[in-house]
Every structure is written in C-alpha cells, then in structure tokens.
Structure 1
Amino acid sequence: MAKVAGRFVRVEPRSTARAFVTGLLSDAERKNCWSLAEQAGHDRPDAMQRLLRSARWDADAVRDDLRDLVLERLGDPDGVLIVDETGFLKKGEHSAGVQRQYTGTAGRIENSQIGVFLAYASPRGRALIDRRLYLPKDSWCADGPRRTAAGIPEQAVFATKPHLARNMITAALEAGTPARWVTGDEVYGQDPALRLELEARGTGYVLAVSCATRVRINNGRTPVRADTAAACLPEDAWQIRSAGAGAKGPRIYRWAWIALDGDGRRRQLLVRRNTATGERAFYLCFTPQPTPLSTLVQVAGVRWSIEECFQAAKGQVGLDHYQVRHFTSWHRHITLAMLALAVLAFLVAEAARTPTGPGRLPISLTANEIRHLMNALILDQPRSPALVLHWSIWRRTHQGRARHSHYQRRLAT
C-alpha cells in the first residue's frame, strides 16, 4: 500500500483502503463492504462504503501506480499486453452499465455488467493493469436520467469494446510499458482500427479472428476467407508446437502460417489445428521484425493468462463480490481488487525464483496457497464474541428494515 498511499490525502480513507485491500486478501467468504468492515473490526460498514462512493481519491491515479508497480516487479522486454472482457452477473436494472447481454462468464445472455480489462504478462508473471466498464449505447449512454442516477460522468461516452481496448493499450504503451506484443480474442482481432494503430506504433500482435475473415494471399492478389486459405495448405506445412503449459501439461497443437505480404515478415495468417478433433482457430499477426513460428505460437498461448487472472481475481480477491451501483464505485472496487491480485502475483513471482522441476517437491507456491499462508500467519486477528454478535444483529436489523420497505412499496403499488 505504500506505493499508492499518497493518493489518499486524508488519513481516514488511507487507513480504510489499507483495511479494504487486507480484507480482499483474507479468507472471508464474501468480500463486499459489509464483510470487509466486519473483517477489519469496524462496527458499521459506513467507512468502507464511503471509500467506494464519496471519499476523495482518484481510482485512475491508483491504477497508474498499480501499473507502474507491476512493470517494476514483472516488466520484461518480451512482455505481452492481453485484452479481454469478463462479465459480472447482476440483479435489477440500476447498476451502471447493466443490461441483458451475452457474457462468457455465464456462456449465454444474462443480466450483467461487462468489464474490459488489460493484463500484462511476461516470463516473470502476470497481472491486471487496467479496466473499463462497458456502457451499452441505447440503454445507458442515451438515457440521461439513468446516467445521472448511476453517477456516470459526461465525458463517459459510448465506446465499443475494441475502442475501450485501444484506449487502454495506448495508455499503457505511452506510459512506457515494455511490451513487444499485443494479443486478444476475436472481439478485438476483428477490429481493423486496433490492428492499424498497433502497426503504426511498430508493436507486434497476434489477434484471433473468425474463420470468415477475408485475407489477401499471393502477394495480395487473391482475396479469400481464412478457412479457405487454410484448407489449401499441404500436410507438410503443419508443425507440432506447444502453446505453453496447461493444467494437464503442454498444450500441443498443429500450427501453420501463411504470408500475407510477399516477404513473410510483416503480416501473417496463423492457423491452429487441434490434433484430436481437427478444429481450427485463426489469428492475424503483425511482426515488425523477422519472427519464427514458435514465437507467434507462444504469444497466441499467452492469451490464456488473462483468463487465469480473471479466475484468480474472482476466486481469491473478490473481483466480482461488490454490491455497488455507482459508476465511480465500480471502478474503485475493481481497482483495489486488481491491487490485491498484484500482491499475490508478486509473491508468486518471488516464490518461482526457487527452482523446481520433475521429481522435486514441493511445487512452487500458488496464489491460493500464498493467500492461505498470509491469513494463517499474518492477517488473521481474533475477534471478540461481542463483535461477532454485534455484526449478526446489525445485519439482521438492516435486512429487516429493507424487507419492511420492500413490502410497503409493493403495497403502495
């Protein structure tokens, strides 16, 4: 917290922010303001709620400090920026950006908020470094009273998910982030503006695209679909490569590439084929310098790092445990959760310095094990029975008031 302490001018929000992040790292089952306040020994959740809603501090400035800290601890010239989105399932219609929309979190259309995130991955580790809340155009950006109620500022205008990604990538690169590559899934690979901007900057990319994407082969003379181009490849064009280690060992696929610019050094179509099912995936690539196939394969495989970040952030530090509706509150909770996740990432990176290998036990410390040890050895503080009972009474009293108000409102209608 020392890195970001200066962003909290007054001592009260600074102390509350420290307790908030400590609570996110705790073993608390839920990590909303109520449970975090109880974990910190407060007698009410007011301070935690004030920290997210009305306290004076800039979440974007804390995010910038977090990014600098990640680059200081995990930065590497071969770093990769990864962009992706994740969903936050919600009830009701008052939370900023919420509507019925598709989310990969549920695998279907659900009432949810969508956050677009930027992660940084290097041989030293990985962490989330930026975030944006996606605001649907018609149901939110064009609805003035709804925007006002959710605290959405005037400067927050409609932007597509690829546009939000471009803004985050641009900010990271202009801040000096050592990243040689950018990668992302089809949502972002299909955006020509993102690809052109990266090419103008001389930043390489490996971006997933659909099988129907049109590419130009034969020195640009022949426009074809990506799957049509791949179907013409001879069998000896496919090479077996690992896209990195997975939960069950190396992720082995067959890979092939097709030059889209004559010299084969600038733009390529990379094709991945499942060794068992034959299913194919496609990537558009840009390489400022001559680059071997194995490097492109590794960058394509690194994209899964952001999925692992989402899993750890939701499972370990309560990224999705918030109970806030306000635009500012969402960004503040997410930023502090990213900070807590970065703490675990740094400790995992430090633990990984101890060499391990086949036959060597124990294995390297994981984020889950490190958080467990932190709580067992450092963070856990015995709480008095009186405080536990106080919180039980407070919760049930608050819930009783809410139920009474709900019944009164229904009777009135």
Structure 2
Amino acid sequence: MGAVRGCFARIEPWVQARQYVRAVSSDLPERNGWTIAEWIGDRSPDKTQRLLNHAVWDTGGVMAHVRRYAVAGLERAAETCGRSGLLRVGALDETGQEKKGRATAGVKRQHMGCAGGVDNGINTVHLAYVRQQVGHALIGCRQWIPAEQVADPGTAARMGLPDGLGLATKGQLAVQVLQDTADDGVVLDFVAGDEVYGHSPDLRTHCEASGQAYVLRVRSTFTLQLGAGKPMTCKQIVRSMLWPKKRWQICSAGSGDKGARDYAWAWVATASAVHWLLVRKHLRTGELAFHYCHVPAGRPVSLHLLVTAAGLRWPVEESFEFGKDLFGLDQSQVRRYEAIRRHTVLVMLALAVFAVAAASARPRTDTQAPPPTGPDTPPPAEPGHTPLTVAALKNLVNALHPRRHGIDHTIHWQNWRDRHRARARWHHQRTRLRRPLEHAYPQLT
C-alpha cells in the first residue's frame, strides 16, 4: 500500500483503500459495502462507496504496481528455492459474478461457470502469472461489456463506461491485458488459455507478431493444414494419424494433491514449422482435448515442454477460488464500470500479498515425507506438513490481528441496517404500486 500512495490524489482515499484491502483480507463471511464499512469502523458505507465510485485515484496505476509486485515476489521465491529455470506461464481465463437486474455495467444473460450454465451476470478476463512449482497470482484484468451497452450512449453514461471504450471480444481483451503486461517488462515463456482464447485469431496473431509462444485449447472442429494435404480437423487428425497406441506417450501435466496428473499425449507437426497440435487423452475415459501450439523459430521445443506449459493453465482456476472464497472477488455490490474495476484491483492486491508470502514460505514450511515408491510402501512414521497456503496464511494473520469495536458499534450497525432495509422496503412497495398491470383480468361475475 505504501508503493501505491502516488496513485491517489489525496491521502484520505489511500487510507480508505488500505482499510478496504485489510477488510477483504479479514474473516468476514461476506465482503460488501456494508460489511466492509462496519469492519473498518465507519458509521456508514459512505466512505467505502466514495472510494469505489467517486474518489480520484489511478486504478490502472495500482494494477501495474500489483503486477510488478506479484511478479517480482514470485521471482524472488523461485530463486530462493532454486527453481529460477522453470517455466513462467501467463494463464488466461474469465470468471463471472451473478448479478440481478439490468443496471450493472456488463450485465447480461450469458454462460458463466460460477452459475453452472447461462445466468444473469458479468464476466471479467484475467491473466494469472504462474511460476512453475513456486506460486501464482492474478496480475491483469479487463471486464467484458456487451455490444448493446457500448453502442447506446445513454446506457454507457449510466453505467459509467469510459469514453472511447469500444466493443471487444474476450480474445481482444486478453490482447489488451498481455500488452499491459509486456509494457511492464514481464516476460512469459508461454501463454495458455482455454477454447475461448484458442479460437481468437486476434490473440494468436498478437502473440505470433510479438514472438510469444502459446499453448491454447481448441475444439475438435478446429482446422489445421498438415504438409501439402488438404486441411483437416483435430478429430480427423486423431483418426488418421494417432490411432496406433505407439504414437501416444504417458506424461504428467503436473502434480496434484493425489499425485501426478498423468495423461496420454501426442503431438503432430503442421505445415508451419512453428505450429503443432498437442492432443491429450484421458487414461480412463479416453476423452480427448486439443491444444494449438506456437513456439517461435529458434527456440527449443519438445513434447514434454508443451505438456508442462499446457498443465500450468490450471492454477488460474485456483487463483479464482482463492480470490472469491477468501477475498470476495465476486462480491462487489457496485454497478458502475470503474467501481467494479476498483474492487477487483484491490482484491487482486490482497491476493498478491498472500500469494507472494505463501511462495516465500514454501521452502521453509514444506516438510512432507517422501512420496511412496510403490503400492506396498509402508506409511511414514512422521508425515510432516504440507506448505503454508494462501488460506492458511490468511487465517494466521487474522488470528494475530483481531478487530473489536465494541457493543456500541455493533448496535449502531444493526440499527443502521434495519433502518436502511425498512426504507428500501417502503420505496419498493411504492414503486410496485406505480407499475401498470401487465395482464388485464376479466371482471368476476
């Protein structure tokens, strides 16, 4: 927070932002304007709402500080534990937040993984910096805005959309995030993403033009050119070229809690000398997954390298889990574009602090016994301890710094909530009385 002081025009918003970060890092079960203000000790949510909606501060500048802090911290941790030569992957993915109504910037009925299907909500594209066997943190984001909101000046003004904000697909938003990352001097060995990003020609073109290697998921219908033959889909390539079992190799996509994540893998060269198709097959179900890969000319490439890069996409999901469950990433109760962005950036700041701390503590706190070498290996007398995680560190910090404002403060906030709810209920009832009846019912005789 000291490093971002220059991003705030006045000290009061900076102090409130520092308190906001502490509040989202606390053990609050819900993190919204009311609960955060109560935890801080304010008498109403006004200061919190002003921080997100009206205060003068450079949100992009804070995000740049978070990005540099997270990358530098994870790099120091990698050097400390002797893993500086391992991969640096930028993992792209989007995450959603369910919203009610139609007044929130970016809200629309759309597919959201958090809802398990189509629901009303907002979606934000994130980039996670993943340091192999060290740690990971979110370092960039862009919210997706539907075309109808961008095109309508009245709607754009109500939602606080910036002037000049154009329509952008999620792939194009990913390009913007990667450009911000490159401008800050962050070097990525690979960019990884799911099918949303694998099927974005803008993202692939940007990466190839900037010399950035990538491993991106694609659908089975994705078409490639092999040699001088006609174009083939991924599914056709598997049927015609990868049917013999000898063409598959069993490799680990990384370590999980239950051991190595082993799959059968195969790779196929394309007509281009810098593109490959990487195919993953589940060992039990036989389910296939396809990755379109690019490695610039002159750089070494191997099946193991591509498999490792593909496996490092998954930590972004864990970053979302930490961000939502531990810091309230999806609990912003604001509607305007900049307010949503500011909440997201402050949560990313809190997550980065704990992610770097966990990565730094890993060599000293990982005392697990060696893994078993066979099915009959006897259990160790002392299993040791798994390394401290982001969640564990957050619990320890909250145990060290309890906040108590007294019974008077608790009574004040209970009264404040009750009065606010009563006022809101009265206005809702009056609004409903003003609405015309949607259906005309026949008069009963």
Scaled to the shorter chain, the TM-score interval is over 0.9
CA contact (8 A) 1:348 1:366 kept: yes
Distance in 2, matches of 1:396 and 1:301, equals 50
CA contact (8 A) 1:271 1:283 kept: yes
CA contact (8 A) 1:216 1:260 kept: yes
Alignment-derived partner of residue 326 in structure 2: 316
- Count of residue pairs the alignment pairs up: 408
The one-letter code sitting in structure 2 at the alignment partner of 1:375 is N
Alignment-derived partner of residue 407 in structure 1: 429
1:9 Cα deviation from its structure 2 partner: 2.6
Distance in 2, matches of 1:177 and 1:328, equals 25
Alignment-derived partner of residue 172 in structure 2: 163
1:293 Cα deviation from its structure 2 partner: 0.9
> Helix, strand or coil: the match of 1:353?
helix
> Helix, strand or coil: the match of 1:179?
coil
Asked if 1:253 corresponds to 2:263, the answer is yes
Distance in 1, matches of 2:74 and 2:118, equals 36
The one-letter code sitting in structure 1 at the alignment partner of 2:413 is W
Asked if 1:345 corresponds to 2:345, the answer is no
CA contact (8 A) 2:254 2:261 kept: yes
CA contact (8 A) 1:215 1:224 kept: yes
Distance in 2, matches of 1:200 and 1:230, equals 29
Alignment-derived partner of residue 373 in structure 2: none
Alignment-derived partner of residue 443 in structure 2: none
The one-letter code sitting in structure 2 at the alignment partner of 1:191 is S
1:295 Cα deviation from its structure 2 partner: 1.2
Runs (4+) of structure 1 exceeding 4 A deviation are none
Among residues 357, 364, 371, which one is paired with 2:387 in the alignment? Answer: 364
| Inter-CA distance 11–262: structure 2 relative to 1 (3 Å threshold) | closer
Asked if 1:274 corresponds to 2:296, the answer is no
| Inter-CA distance 220–400: structure 2 relative to 1 (3 Å threshold) | farther
Distance in 2, matches of 1:21 and 1:93, equals 28
Alignment-derived partner of residue 442 in structure 2: none
The one-letter code sitting in structure 2 at the alignment partner of 1:356 is T
> Helix, strand or coil: the match of 2:101?
coil
CA contact (8 A) 1:119 1:126 kept: yes
Alignment-derived partner of residue 15 in structure 1: 15
Distance in 1, matches of 2:5 and 2:234, equals 50
Greater CA drift, 10-19 or 196-205? 196-205
Alignment-derived partner of residue 2 in structure 1: 2
**In terms of Rg, which structure is larger?**
2
> Helix, strand or coil: the match of 1:188?
helix
Alignment-derived partner of residue 45 in structure 2: 45
Alignment-derived partner of residue 59 in structure 1: 59
Among residues 151, 164, 189, which one is paired with 2:160 in the alignment? Answer: 151
Alignment-derived partner of residue 387 in structure 1: 409
Distance in 2, matches of 1:54 and 1:125, equals 35
1:333 Cα deviation from its structure 2 partner: 0.3
Distance in 2, matches of 1:356 and 1:278, equals 36
CA contact (8 A) 2:368 2:385 kept: no
Greater CA drift, 163-172 or 75-84? 75-84
Among residues 279, 293, 301, which one is paired with 1:285 in the alignment? Answer: 293
CA contact (8 A) 1:83 1:118 kept: yes
Among residues 232, 238, 252, which one is paired with 1:224 in the alignment? Answer: 232
Distance in 2, matches of 1:293 and 1:191, equals 24
1:262 Cα deviation from its structure 2 partner: 6.7
Distance in 1, matches of 2:224 and 2:144, equals 30
| Inter-CA distance 109–381: structure 2 relative to 1 (3 Å threshold) | same
Distance in 2, matches of 1:134 and 1:247, equals 34
Alignment-derived partner of residue 396 in structure 1: 418
Greater CA drift, 68-77 or 238-247? 68-77
Cα offsets for 1:98-117 (capped at 9, x unmatched): 01111111121100101111
1:303 Cα deviation from its structure 2 partner: 0.6
The one-letter code sitting in structure 2 at the alignment partner of 1:357 is Q
1:246 Cα deviation from its structure 2 partner: 2.3
Distance in 1, matches of 2:186 and 2:199, equals 24
Asked if 1:125 corresponds to 2:135, the answer is yes
Among residues 397, 400, 414, which one is paired with 1:377 in the alignment? Answer: 400
The one-letter code sitting in structure 2 at the alignment partner of 1:241 is C
Alignment-derived partner of residue 113 in structure 1: 122
> Helix, strand or coil: the match of 1:257?
strand
1:322 Cα deviation from its structure 2 partner: 1.1
Unaligned 5+ segments in structure 1 are none
The one-letter code sitting in structure 2 at the alignment partner of 1:295 is L
Distance in 2, matches of 1:136 and 1:220, equals 41
CA contact (8 A) 1:220 1:260 kept: no
TM-score calculated relative to the size of structure 2: 0.89
Distance in 2, matches of 1:348 and 1:213, equals 39
The one-letter code sitting in structure 2 at the alignment partner of 1:399 is R
Greater CA drift, 13-22 or 146-155? 146-155
Cα offsets for 1:35-85 (capped at 9, x unmatched): 111111111111111000000001111001111111211146731111111
Distance in 1, matches of 2:135 and 2:385, equals 20
1:220 Cα deviation from its structure 2 partner: 4.3
Asked if 1:180 corresponds to 2:203, the answer is no
Cα offsets for 1:192-236 (capped at 9, x unmatched): 22112212221110000000001111x243311111111221211
